[in-house]
Structure 1
Amino acid sequence: MKTLTLLRHAKSSWDDPISRDFDRPLNAKGRRAAVMIGRQLKSLDLRFDHIVASPAVRVIETLDEVWSGYGRKLEPVWDKAMYLASAASLLDLVHALPEAADHVLMVGHNPGLEDLVLDLTLDGELRERVEDKYPTATVAQMTLPVDRWPDARAHSATLVAFIRPRDLDPTLGPDTP
């Protein structure tokens, strides 16, 4: 059995005058949410033996804040293919994950992460929440009934957790600054 955890980057700032979307930083709310998610990952005793992440600034900053809350910094493999990747491209990355890795964290962007969860998972209440919305700084964790990553297939995974920042702190919901 393999476990795949997906983390969407935290809320980014549209206020900074930047020339490329890739360089967009987090805003204050995004930083708070990422720290809170890191604390939650620690409280659930989630451990990762492999991390792959988009090298976009907002993802790098998200992970910095998550590690602050988690209490320990873990080094990801930065993969440009994660930047704004489609679900199909992300599944290709899943299929190429190291065999020795049993619990992987992928950190990136929507709509690819949301679509990957919907493509991989079986129907259920948590999946319906993903269909409704996969907000920034949200974690989705799935267990896959496979021993090898290349065997991951559509509609076979079980969604075991879907954690939104607003579930941990209502002030991190969509209606607050």
Structure 2
Amino acid sequence: MKRFLPLSLLLYASVVSGCASDRPRPAYEPKSPAMASEPIEPQEGDLDLAISGYLGAHHAPLFSRYEYTRLDLNGDGLRDALVYMKTPFGHWCGDHGCTVLVFAAKDGGFTSAGAISPVRAPFYVSKLTSQGWRDLVVRVAGREERAKDVVLQFDGQSYPLDPGPLPPYLNFSALEKTKVFP
């Protein structure tokens, strides 16, 4: 055993000295400015929480049914959400259509960016923008006047709540748009 002690000490010293460095290391690695400022894309679970919070804050039925689509509406690189509320009929939908909720994606979550009601499918997102947000094209029907497609423009705070009074968009077929709800 005494014979192996000097050999063990020599081996230990060579391992420890091999790990040493002339340059001291910081206790943490600072993030580069690009990494520190990149927003975090919210996930579907974050959207579910935002919708549940909206339902609770507006005393809406918790068993409400909806479908949603996610796309970048405001050019910040994060996918926002359009939520098409389907039931219960008397709360979210009526003879003139249903409600669409708009949620803005923020760093790791969502905030409400308004509601639009009533609208009918189909529902489109235009390539045109207003106040940095993409214009929405919705169908207004089931009223005394003829059915029409209208353009909803963001005003800096939200989209118009009621699309009914808006004028029809006459260049609908020429508009570059993406269909999001059937």
TM-score by length of 1: 0.25
TM-score by length of 2: 0.24
Identify the structure with bigger relative contact order (alpha carbons < 8 Å, sequence gap 6+). Answer: 1
More helix by share: 1
Larger Rg: 2
